[in-house]
Chains A and B, each alone.
Chain A
Amino acid sequence: MKISRRKFFKIAGVAGGGSILGKVKSALGVEQFTGWPDRVGVLTDLTRCVGCRSCEAACNEINKLPQPKIPFEDQSVLEKERRADADYYTYVNRYPDPKNKGQWIFRKIQCNHCDEPACASACLVKALRKTPEGPVIWNEKVCIGCRYCMTACPFYVPAYEYSNAFSPNVVKCTMCYDARTSQGKVPACVEACPMEVMTFGKRRDLIQAARKRIMDHPDRYVDHIYGENEVGGTCWLYISGVPFEKLGFPTDVGTKPYPEFTRGFLSMVPAVLVVWPALLGGFYLFTKNRERMADEEEEIIPEEKEE
């Protein structure tokens, strides 16, 4: 059976395009993921926080972190706005209360445990993982310290062990996954809080509880649950008495899960890597073969003429 050059390109084009389109379709299918159904979370009611730093002390103890230079009882630490560090997985910052002059509003910060975490999608070696239970955890044995997760995180959460010269890791809050939450226990910071600022439970129940709290006290809260839709939803939720941008929350993160921004492109990579070399190799062989045959014909034809 003879195939013309035109027909070959037609078939090759359809086959190649089809395989790429097929890949795109399956990637779009993943976008329907709305989070693990029974994932747990923590609802943080910022109207209750008094900035006592009990949560920081509890976190320090359970994660066996180094003792801080300034003790946890010392409130002077709050004078400077802090950011995530390898020495503490959670910290409290304070912001001036726009309603009452001279008063402060405290904000407890830690990993928000996104439903579709940007850090995990950016990780080259799968050191970061979203568990079906809710927490986003990291595996220090796998981490190569590339710090891609630090750039990917919309909340600037993962911290780097700059002080560790030989095997530095990226570290962050794990919602006490190994020690507590995987055994059905409450995270250490949640348990330690004297004001019960944080409520632990199933994320869907927490959202209902938060809605009810806002509905029951419309004068006390702004009508927004931070983390319900931010970056596609997070397991750590916040309710507040003042708008979230006043408390340093990033409010420009959107509601689209971060991995989605790269998913379309990244899902094409294997298709391109597999299909294109095969296709181009095929073209190359085809044209080379043709050229060879043409050359051979040319070589034969003069001989025939001579005879």
Chain B
Amino acid sequence: MTTRNTVVAILCLSICLLVSSYAVESKQTSSSGEVPETYTLGRLAKIYQPVEFSHEAHTYITEGCETCHHYSQEGETPSCNECHNSSSAKDLGIADLKEAYHGNCMGCHKKMEMGPTGCNECHAKQTSKAPPVIQTTTKKSSKAGPETLTLNRLEMKYEPVVFSHEMHTLLTEDCAACHHHSTAGETPSCAECHGAPFNPENLNLPGLKGAYHLQCMGCHKEMGAPDGCTECHAKKDSKKSESKEK
């Protein structure tokens, strides 16, 4: 009896160890404890940077858990790999984990016309130093928003633009000079309103690129600040970029 128990225990332990050693999805759980905040998907860490999936953001966007946690009993939210794993794919002909992720994520991103759909938009290449997102630096003492914003969406072509938010708050009299058309006292980020351009609902609402250029250059022209292309977007060393392309 005891030997049998120890065998079972050892088996369980070894399975646990195996699973944990293979586990690549690290969870960060919010204070409520139940719903994970982010998932870091790092199976392809050798080729790509890990994908930071904000579970929290997606719970707000979707109508209900079952949008993603489909085909399960009401109230239950099994994790993706409970159904979508290599063995189930062989046995039941259902999608394996990779296929399920891509089918579900990209399918919805395309349908909703929201979120990234290009390969490198989720899977930043390991060689590129920084993911193409807006990075902010914040001073602890500062209450007037971030100190700088680093805009590097076009980092394949240009050096990132480091926008000194702090300097501009000193130059302008009012936050609303840039954070326009919003409720008094509120300073939504540019991307909150200016997303993808040419929205048929409001064709006169510029996209993010247009909004930046129109706002920045419009004011720069008025104030006599730099308004040439390369004055903000320093060209990358052409030799370097060429060798990279090769």
Looking at B27-35, B83-91, B202-210, the stretch in contact with chain A turns out to be B202-210
- Write out the residue numbers on chain B whose beta carbons fall within 8 Å of the beta carbon of A206: 203
Q: How far is the CA of A206 from the CA of B200 in the complex (A)?
A: 9
Q: Which of B188-243 contact A (CB under 8 A)?
A: 197-198, 200, 203-204, 206-207, 209-211, 213-214, 217, 227, 229
- Write out the residue numbers on chain B whose beta carbons fall within 8 Å of the beta carbon of A194: 209-210, 213, 229
Chain A 188-212, CB within 8 Å of chain B: the 1/0 string?
A: 0010011110011110011011001
Selected contact of A50 from candidates B203, B204, B217, CB within 8 Å: B217
Selected contact of B209 from candidates A73, A196, A213, CB within 8 Å: A196
Selected contact of A196 from candidates B200, B207, B227, B229, CB within 8 Å: B207
Q: How far is the CA of A199 from the CA of B200 in the complex (A)?
A: 10
Q: How far is the CA of A199 from the CA of B198 in the complex (A)?
A: 6
- Write out the residue numbers on chain B whose beta carbons fall within 8 Å of the beta carbon of A205: 200, 203
User: Across the interface, do B213 and A213 meet the contact criterion of CB distance under 8 Å?
Assistant: no
Nearest residue (CB) in B for A48 is B214
- Write out the residue numbers on chain A whose beta carbons fall within 8 Å of the beta carbon of B197: 186, 196, 199
Chain B 117-130, CB within 8 Å of chain A: the 1/0 string?
A: 00000000000000
Least distance between B167 CB and chain A CB atoms (Å):
22
User: Across the interface, do A212 and B204 meet the contact criterion of CB distance under 8 Å?
Assistant: yes
Instruction: Tell me if A242 counts as interface (CB < 8 A to partner B).
Output: no
- Write out the residue numbers on chain A whose beta carbons fall within 8 Å of the beta carbon of B211: 196
Q: How many A-B residue pairs have CB under 8 A?
A: 43
Least distance between B109 CB and chain A CB atoms (Å):
15
Selected contact of B203 from candidates A48, A193, A195, A209, CB within 8 Å: A209
Q: How far is the CA of A186 from the CA of B209 in the complex (A)?
A: 15
Selected contact of A195 from candidates B200, B204, B210, CB within 8 Å: B210
- Write out the residue numbers on chain A whose beta carbons fall within 8 Å of the beta carbon of B210: 193-196
Q: How far is the CA of A201 from the CA of B204 in the complex (A)?
A: 11
User: Across the interface, do A201 and B213 meet the contact criterion of CB distance under 8 Å?
Assistant: no
Q: How far is the CA of A48 from the CA of B209 in the complex (A)?
A: 13
Least distance between A120 CB and chain B CB atoms (Å):
27
Interface of chain A, helix or strand or loop or mixed? mixed
Asked whether A201 and B229 contact (CB < 8 A) given A48-B214, A195-B210, A206-B203, the answer is no
Q: Which of A24-46 contact B (CB under 8 A)?
A: 43
User: Across the interface, do A195 and B214 meet the contact criterion of CB distance under 8 Å?
Assistant: yes
Instruction: Tell me if A279 counts as interface (CB < 8 A to partner B).
Output: no
Instruction: Tell me if A52 counts as interface (CB < 8 A to partner B).
Output: yes
Nearest residue (CB) in A for B154 is A194
- Write out the residue numbers on chain A whose beta carbons fall within 8 Å of the beta carbon of B229: 52, 73, 194
User: Across the interface, do A209 and B204 meet the contact criterion of CB distance under 8 Å?
Assistant: yes
Asked whether A195 and B217 contact (CB < 8 A) given A43-B203, A209-B203, A212-B204, the answer is yes
Nearest residue (CB) in A for B207 is A196
User: Across the interface, do B207 and A213 meet the contact criterion of CB distance under 8 Å?
Assistant: no
Q: How far is the CA of A52 from the CA of B209 in the complex (A)?
A: 15
Least distance between B38 CB and chain A CB atoms (Å):
31
Asked whether A201 and B203 contact (CB < 8 A) given A52-B229, A196-B197, A196-B209, the answer is yes
User: Across the interface, do B209 and A201 meet the contact criterion of CB distance under 8 Å?
Assistant: no
Task: Supply 9 further A-B pairs (C-beta < 8 A) apart from A196-B207, A202-B200, A205-B200.
Answer: A48-B214, A193-B210, A196-B197, A196-B209, A199-B198, A201-B198, A205-B203, A206-B203, A209-B204
29 A-B contact pairs sorted by A residue (CB < 8 Å): A48-B214, A50-B217, A52-B229, A73-B229, A186-B198, A190-B198, A193-B210, A194-B209, A194-B229, A195-B210, A195-B213, A195-B217, A196-B197, A196-B206, A196-B209, A196-B210, A196-B211, A196-B213, A199-B197, A199-B198, A199-B203, A199-B204, A201-B198, A205-B203, A206-B203, A208-B203, A209-B203, A209-B204, A213-B204
- List 9 tightest A-B contacts by C-beta distance, closest first: A196-B210, A209-B203, A194-B213, A200-B198, A196-B206, A195-B213, A209-B204, A201-B203, A199-B203
